[in-house]
Amino acid sequence: MPDFFEIINAQRAIRRFKPDPVPQLLIEKLIEYATKAPSGSNKQPWAFVIVTEQDKKNKIAHWYHEGWVAVYESDPSRPRNAVYESALHLANHLHDVPVLIFPCITESNGRVPSFSSGASIYPAAQNLMLAATALGLGSVITTFHRRHENDVKALLGIPEEFTTSCMIPIGWPAEGEHFGGSKRKPVSEVIHYENW
Ligand SMILES: Cc1cc2nc3c(=O)[nH]c(=O)nc-3n(C[C@H](O)[C@H](O)[C@H](O)COP(=O)(O)O)c2cc1C
């Protein structure tokens, strides 16, 4: 088992995958570690939908690509850099990704989650991606499907009171993909003691 801090440093957006399937046992490990995350009042308002069927992935990939074009591709102010190339590849090949995971969240009163209540799902999503990294699996948190949220929910039979917080493609990293090396602002730039 790699060192915890090594895993944090290694975890990053992986968007190119081998076609090899991911054993169900490993997917269940990811969900097990996701559910170790905190949630408001420990309500654990989550559910995780695992998608591997090709016809479902084809439909989701089509909607995801539409979202990609609407949000990113049609916005010339977005830089055409390495992140763009990587995200473009995923948008064009999502149907080939072995597993798509939808971490879903509900509120007991049936309302759409707010910014703060929605925060009860993202620690679980991050746990899931850290666990994936520890197992050598690539992952990336994505949101372009959300323009077709209702279509995705209908396709996957997700109940009305649940929302897909994000979608996490999972698979073994393709040749040339690598963990680690993500670029981040230095701590000195983002830390404030007592006052901003
Ligand atoms: C809220 C959120 C939404 C994101 N949506 C997408 C997405 O729809 N598609 C995508 O390819 N990457 C998406 N990303 C991934 C980011 O582009 C990625 O985490 C960021 O570029 C850092 O990548 P790195 O860890 O490899 O440095 C999203 C990340 C976050 C946190």
**Pocket around ligand 1: residues whose beta carbon is below 6 Å from it?**
12-13, 15, 83, 87, 90, 140-144, 182
Q: Which atom, in ligand 1's list, is nearest to the CA of 91?
A: 11
Q: Look at residue 195 in the predicted model and tell me its pLDDT.
A: 96
- Domain boundaries of the chain, sorted by first residue: 13-176
Q: Report how far residue 192's alpha carbon sits from residue 196's, in angstroms, rounded to the nearest whole number.
A: 5
pLDDT band at 112; cut points 50, 70, 90: low
First to last CA, the chain: 39
The model's confidence at residue 2, banded by pLDDT at 50, 70 and 90, is confident
pTM assigned to the model: 0.96
Residue 56: CB atoms within 10 Å: 16
- Supply the pLDDT for residue 116: 75
- Mean residue pLDDT across the chain: 94
Query: Stretch 61-66: mean pLDDT, rounded?
Result: 98
pLDDT of residue 110: 62
Residue nearest to ligand 1 atom 25, measured at CA: 12
Average pLDDT of 59-87?
94
**What does the pLDDT average to over 118-131?**
95
Q: Where are the alpha helices (DSSP H) in 11-53?
A: 24-34
51 phi, psi to nearest 5 deg: -120, 120
Q: Ligand 1: distance of its center to the CA of 96 in Å?
A: 19
Distance CA 103, CA 165 (A): 6
Atom index in ligand 1 nearest the CA of residue 83 equals 21
Looking at the domain covering 13-176, what would its CATH class be? Answer: alpha beta
Q: Could you read off the pLDDT of 133-187 as tens digits, one per residue?
A: 999 999 999 999 999 999 999 999 999 989 999 999 999 999 999 999 999 999 9
Which of 115, 143, 166 to mutate to test ligand 1, by most ligand atoms within 8 A of the CB atom? 143
